[in-house]
Amino acid sequence: MTAALEISHVSKIYGSGDNRVVAVDDVSLTLAAGEVVLIEGPSGSGKTTLLSMMGCIMRPTLGEVRLAGELVRQEEGDALATVRLRHIGFMFQAFNLFPALNAEENVELVLRLKGYSRATRRPEARRLLELVGLGARCGHYPEQLSGGEKQRVAFARALAGDPPLLLADEPTANLDSQRGKEVLALVRELAISSGKAVVIVSHDPKAEVFAHRVVAMEDGKLRP
Ligand SMILES: Nc1ncnc2c1ncn2[C@@H]1O[C@H](COP(=O)(O)OP(=O)(O)O)[C@@H](O)[C@H]1O
Ligand SMILES: [Mg+2]
């Protein structure tokens, strides 16, 4: 079966000379559809840099990224945005919701970027918010939502357009332990039921039980 995500010998070097930092050092990893992988590691070990290259937000200095078997052509700037829209949903530590938009509008915005018509956006945004247990919060603005609720809106937004790959950078870091577990359980459940590949970066050991596979990162390398 074609891997949902395959990165081969990927490295990222920031700066040069005295400022040279090898943030990610020759990392290879393959994810199948429906698989949840947790990347653990101390601060500064290169987790966010690695996730950014998986998500085609950042170009690797060396190495290749394949999404659904297709090589990502790193040289084509605008095409990368299209690849992101088609393949990838993102979740972040700070939720990154638009404060001036309510829950439903936050999800609709992404649906619009993905080409959903005006008529289909609203019902689809509501369906996704119901899926994450927030059907009663569609009209609420981020400031009216708890941390756990905000992250669930962000999850609904990441699911918009049904991307095959979800990338989450420390999604529970701003949540209490119970809320963090709820979000991770939901991510795992939906990943499995809808066959999405998921990469979660976290240094919370409680996240381990929600992953099929745990990999440790240290000094830019994945520890076997
Ligand atoms: N834009 C950047 N320019 C230079 N160095 C960076 C940049 N981003 C990250 N780094 C460095 O790369 C290393 C890995 O950072 P990062 O990927 O953010 O790690 P983590 O997410 O595990 O904390 C760190 O040493 C960090 O200081
Ligand atoms: Mg980080």
- Summarised one tens digit per residue, pLDDT across range 100-141 is 999 999 999 999 999 999 999 999 999 999 999 999 999 999
Q: How does DSSP classify residue 103?
A: H
Atom of ligand 1 nearest to the CA of 50: 17
pLDDT at position 56: 92
Dihedral angle sign, alpha carbons of residues 167, 172, 174, 180 = positive
For the chain, the first-to-last Cα distance in angstroms comes to 23
| Mutation test residue for ligand 1: of 21, 39, 204, the one with most atoms within 8 Å of CB | 21
Cα 13 from Cα 28, distance rounded (Å): 16
> Buried (b) or exposed (e) across 59-72, using 16+ Cβ within 10 A?
ebeebebbbeeeeb
Q: What is the pTM of this model?
A: 0.94
CATH class of 5-70+77-223: alpha beta
β-sheet bridge partners, residue 168 = 91, 200
The bound ligand whose nearest atom lies closest to the alpha carbon of 25 is 1
**14 in ligand 1 pocket by Cβ < 6 Å?**
yes
pLDDT digits (tens, 9 = 90+) for 17-64: 999 999 999 999 999 999 999 999 999 999 999 999 999 999 999 999
Helices (H), ranges, the chain: 47-54, 77-87, 103-113, 118-131, 147-159, 177-194
Name the residue with tokens 């945005």: 81
Residues 155, 27: Cα–Cα separation, whole Å: 27
